[in-house]
Amino acid sequence: MGSLGGSGLASFSESTHLVKFTFDEIKEATRNFSRDNMIGKGGYGNVYKGYLPDGSEVAFKRFKNCSAAGDANFTHEVEVIASVRHVNLVALRGYCTATPTTPLEGHQRIIVCDLMKNGSLHDHLFDSMERRLSWPLRQKIALGTARGLAYLHYGAQPAIIHRDIKASNILLDEKFEAKVADFGLAKFTPEGMTHLSTRVAGTKGYVAPEYALYGQLTERSDVYSFGVVLLEMLSGKKALTMSDDNQPSLVADWAWSLVRNGKTLDVIEDGMPELGPPEVLEKYVLIAVLCSHPELLCRPSMDQVVKMLETDISVHSIPERPIPLVAPISDIEKSISSNGSSQLSSSAGYRTFTYESSHHSTSKEEGISSGFFE
């Protein structure tokens, strides 16, 4: 495998520790983007592994269908992302923008990130070759992911909405510390704006309904996606599956149905190693169901999620879900409020499903502030 030569370090930024690499340097490091060096691919392009001059192994994300026209915005976004540092975020090492002399190669945009030794959460949950994650490791990964997202929402300036949280974008280092990855789809929230109306990007099964249906993007769109990932971790089931008769099924709908019918622990994957206490497992399921609620105002913030995961706070009540998220479109249209709101709601509003009879939230607003947990 190739390694980057020293010349790339000449374009070094002391403020962000961000390196601007040449295209030739990256070609050398990836052995001309060899198939043997490819470690992943997605809608944005392919990912390759290679080495920096200091011997550290890194990942090169090569975007496809690029043009030089957007390089200024791309560079600005990369610089902002590189300034965001947190133990639960994948660190950005550098980038490349270039137009090769060979026309067939096209314009290039590449970012360079730390390479995670243990791959992605998706690998460990759904790759039959991987040993199943123990409950303590799943707890650790859930909390690390929540902390990383909370930092993007409330620690970064400006705030960053990820837009594509999914199991394959949660990477695991040698100690199974979670690292939120792939900021290629991230959007920055301008001050004073509560949401961004934008072209929908993301992955089916993980995308919040208000974002999928109306392009309304807020931090709580990420909360929904986190809830789905947490359900995948708890159940071992994928976010979206197709039944034998080719009907879609969401893990969020399935889990809600079990919780609503008093079968919360049935969500937990059979045979999970080192299974935790029932009361802790129940709490995690309820947090996941609350985060993946179809009504954005019923979801907690990521700060609240971190607090729930870190402490003994219990989830006592969850607002009722009006319809399954994969309901017929006629049912969805009926659920949209007559005033043109883009929130999914029922004509009667949300009743609260009280998990424990000792506590009851009387309103949606009260539930967000204190009614879901104590």
By the 10 Å C-beta count (0-12 exposed, 13-18 middle, 19+ buried), 294 is classed as: buried
Among 71, 114, 164, 182, the active-site one is 164
The gap between the terminal CA atoms of the chain, to the nearest Å, is 53
The one-letter amino acid code at 277 reads P
Distances in whole angstroms, Cα of residue 277 to Cα of each of 27, 135, 136: 50, 10, 11
Q: Which of 305, 234, 232 is nearest to 276 (CA)?
A: 234
H or E element at residue 279: helix 278-291
**Angstrom distance (rounded) from CA 219 to CA 151:** 11
208 with 224: CB under 8 angstroms?
yes
**Angstrom distance (rounded) from CA 337 to CA 339:** 6
320 with 345: CB under 8 angstroms?
no
132 with 271: CB under 8 angstroms?
yes
Token look-up 């890194």 returns: 58
Q: Which of 100, 121, 19 is nearest to 60 (CA)?
A: 19
Active site includes 164? yes
Q: Say which residues have a Cβ less than 8 Å from residue 175's Cβ, sequence separation at least 6.
A: none
**Angstrom distance (rounded) from CA 82 to CA 94:** 8
DSSP reduced 3-state for 143: helix
250, β-bridge pairs: 240
Bridge-based pairing state of the strands 170-172 and 160-161:
unpaired
Q: Which of 72, 74, 44, 71 is nearest to 59 (CA)?
A: 44
Q: Annotated active-site positions, please?
A: 164
